[in-house]
Structure 1
Amino acid sequence: MDVDMVTKSEHFQIPKEPRFGCEVDEEEIQALIESQENRNTKKNTRWSYNIFESWRRERNAQCQGPELLIPEIETMDAVQLNFYLGRFIRRVRRKDGKEYPAKTLYYISCGILRYLRDREIHDKNFLDAADPRFAGFRKILDSKKKDALSRGVGGKRKQADPILPEDEAVIWEKGIFGMNNAETLQYTVFFYCCKLFGLRGHDEHHSLECNQFLLGEDNRGKFIDFTGRSTKTFKGGLSHKELHNKQIRHYCQPGISITRNIQRFCKENQGKLFMKKCLAGEQCRYYNVIHVHVVGKSCKDIYTTIHTCALISNHTHTDQFNHSHAWKQQ
């Protein structure tokens, strides 16, 4: 009997460090959710709401009586939301008085919908084609988009200029790429991470870690394996359960020694965050993590030496990534 009691006591003994940790509170849960929200999405949500709110206040200032005032969007019922959103989309303009392009009208609508969802209003999806309560608004939005496109409003797309193979060769000839110093090495790794692994967003470069790269060799030759993480278009949430993070292998061919560049860069960064400020001098030394917006200037810093009028962004590398699956090594 005593043996049974001892066994039970040991079996139900509470461990010093609980397996599931301490109880979570609402603040911790909210912090987790907000940490995974895209900054640009949050910015666009606020921008869309501010446009609607500016229209609402302007209309209310013109009202002749309190019964005609437009209520705040959070307090609207389905009938009011359908009515006022339709009037808003019909008259919305930019600050300079010009009309918004067709796509922007839709993006504004999406931003307003996100604003409502952020405030736990989930029963008024006015963009859902299966919800007849907002059929009037969707007809106005659809007609407004078609009308804007037919009149050529915002028909010209702003697109980054591509980097050509000749331009890439010139960059090497000018000594902008290489391992002569910390800056040239950093530019080289930045460029080929764009070209070979499809990195484009500032955050993707800023959050890179050296353990995402694996250098190896098999019967086909030397290679670099790259393992991606969350990106602007892949967060790994419920909506992306059928998608996978990037798993890219590039084999080397005679030519430019990119494997040595990446290996040297990771060594000098001591396995920590990938992009760091360059120390002056000829040695490849780095210190401190640079700001995410500074990373975004790398493209312009590289290309201004060969292009003075080109429109340059991280999307400049996108076309190259689509058809570039091998690089050269000396």
Structure 2
Amino acid sequence: MAHQTQVELDEDIREIFRLAEELGVTETDGFFTEEERIQPAPTVTTAQLPTATQSSRYVDFSEIDKQHLVEKQRKKNTERATSCAVNQFQKWMTAMRQTKTRPVHEIPPVELDGYLGSFFAGVRQKDGAEYEPDTLTSYQRGIDRYLSENGYAYSICRDLQFRYSQETLKAKRSQLKSQGKGNKKNAAEELSEREDDKGVIGTHSPEALLFLVWLNNQKQFGFRGCQESRQMLWGDVALKKTVDNIEYLEFNERENKTRSSGKVNEQPRAYPPKAFAVPDDPTRCPVFAYKQYALGRPPSHLGSDADFYLAVNYKPETNLWYKRQPMGANKVDTILSTMCNKAGIAGKKTNHSIRRSTIRRLHDSGIPPTKLMQLSGHRNVQSINHYAVNSMDDQHRMSEILSRSRGSRVMPSASAMGFMAQ
């Protein structure tokens, strides 16, 4: 059976988090209730795994042990996307048939194809509104992943046995798009260069410095929206020098749920991302901001295992600008929206806005997509091209060019001028 591509999987995960954000859910761990979750595979602790002893160099892993090891490394976001899709389908089945349904993977192909076609055509949000086209597609892919994991013989996305539901979904997507759906109205907007600095970042206060350091890390190290910032430790960044005595910061990436190579000796990125000093402009120098941030941290939190982002001490009695406790996960997740609120910047700005604007600026500056991938960590060039969309500034310039261009240099008549003034 054909497998889902990484690009498709990324799209599904983005769609699930878009739905969570649309519903006002900021902590995605609470996105599903306990009864809505698919029961996960049993967890296994390190103590439960077979370990080598002094008398035994080799360990005998049973099939169950190996399954536990694989399950433990599965991406949590993928599990959530799959769980959301299957739960929605199961709830629809129960509501439509008014009876307890069988597990989805036990339904024969012909019968399941009919149910899926009706599901794609008739499923609605809680308030009765239609879903976005991409949401329905993410549901299809999520159900397909679930079936594959449970040994189903066919792919509902590709095999001819599910031609009816595939065609129904295609027709439904076309209908929704004709109604104006699918225009990515909830997508995070880029942060323009004019909006990059509105006085809320700098070295003049604990909060402004924290914002500046966070912004530098997001841009220079190619971070994703939230997870890498939450997990970041002080020891993940090292201050180094080149042979020409130029200082730079180097981010040493640890494997996490978002980036896991899964192959021996394979690095998550082609090289450790670096942020070089800008000696002639301290206000734009990531190394200078890092050093100032280090001076404001408690000495007990300069160890490699300390959290990178610490809670702000708004009333410091000493030169310590930050508390001996980590910044809350929800506050880390909403740093950019907090900055934008303080600066009066309108629009839908999330932490992902930095990633969008960073990739697009480098792309517009002539950096090839293959080199951008080495910084951003993308595995597919198509994912980079997804960011190559005209920004608001680009659209403004294009509109100005068209407004100033004229097919004729003849001035309009006085009557026409009067009409246009009305």
Report if TM-score (shorter chain) is over 0.5: yes
Task: State the match for 2:89 in structure 1.
Answer: 52
Deviates more, 1:76-85 or 1:149-158: 149-158
In 2, the alpha carbon distance for the partners of 1:168 and 1:244 equals 27
By relative contact order (CA 8 Å, sep 6+), the higher-ranking structure is 1
The answer to whether the Cα contact below 8 Å between 2:219 and 2:354 also exists between their aligned partners in 1 is yes
Task: State the match for 1:166 in structure 2.
Answer: 194
Task: State the match for 1:8 in structure 2.
Answer: none
The answer to whether the Cα contact below 8 Å between 2:124 and 2:131 also exists between their aligned partners in 1 is yes
In 2, the alpha carbon distance for the partners of 1:145 and 1:56 equals 21
**Would you tell me which structure has more strand in proportion to its own residues?**
1
Task: State the match for 2:243 in structure 1.
Answer: 218
The counterpart of 2:222, out of the listed 198, 223, 247, is 198
In 2, the alpha carbon distance for the partners of 1:15 and 1:45 equals 39
In 1, the alpha carbon distance for the partners of 2:270 and 2:253 equals 6
C-alpha change, 1:198 and 1:275, in structure 2 (3 Å) is same
In 1, the alpha carbon distance for the partners of 2:119 and 2:125 equals 13
The counterpart of 1:85, out of the listed 110, 113, 116, is 116
The answer to whether the Cα contact below 8 Å between 1:266 and 1:274 also exists between their aligned partners in 2 is no
Per-residue deviation, 1:124 = 2.6
Task: State the match for 2:125 in structure 1.
Answer: 94
Task: Give the TM-score, by structure 1 length.
Answer: 0.75
Q: Percent identity?
A: 20
In 1, the alpha carbon distance for the partners of 2:147 and 2:169 equals 18
The answer to whether the Cα contact below 8 Å between 1:277 and 1:290 also exists between their aligned partners in 2 is yes
AA partner of residue 200 (structure 1)? R
Task: State the match for 1:11 in structure 2.
Answer: none
Per-residue deviation, 1:190 = 0.9
The answer to whether the Cα contact below 8 Å between 2:117 and 2:165 also exists between their aligned partners in 1 is yes
C-alpha change, 1:39 and 1:292, in structure 2 (3 Å) is farther
| SS at 1:165 equivalent | coil
The answer to whether the Cα contact below 8 Å between 1:230 and 1:245 also exists between their aligned partners in 2 is no
The counterpart of 1:276, out of the listed 310, 313, 323, is 310
In 2, the alpha carbon distance for the partners of 1:33 and 1:223 equals 37
| SS at 1:170 equivalent | coil
Per-residue deviation, 1:230 = 4.1
Structure 2: gaps spanning 5 or more residues: 1-51, 366-422
C-alpha change, 1:50 and 1:318, in structure 2 (3 Å) is same
Task: Give the TM-score, by structure 2 length.
Answer: 0.61
The answer to whether the Cα contact below 8 Å between 2:253 and 2:268 also exists between their aligned partners in 1 is no
- Structure 1 or 2, whichever has the larger Rg, is 1
| SS at 1:224 equivalent | strand
The answer to whether the Cα contact below 8 Å between 1:49 and 1:115 also exists between their aligned partners in 2 is yes
The answer to whether the Cα contact below 8 Å between 2:76 and 2:257 also exists between their aligned partners in 1 is no
CA-atom RMSD, angstroms? Answer: 3.3
The counterpart of 1:125, out of the listed 143, 155, 161, is 155
Per-residue deviation, 1:34 = 4.4
Count the aligned residue pairs: 296
The counterpart of 2:183, out of the listed 139, 155, 162, is 155
| SS at 1:247 equivalent | coil
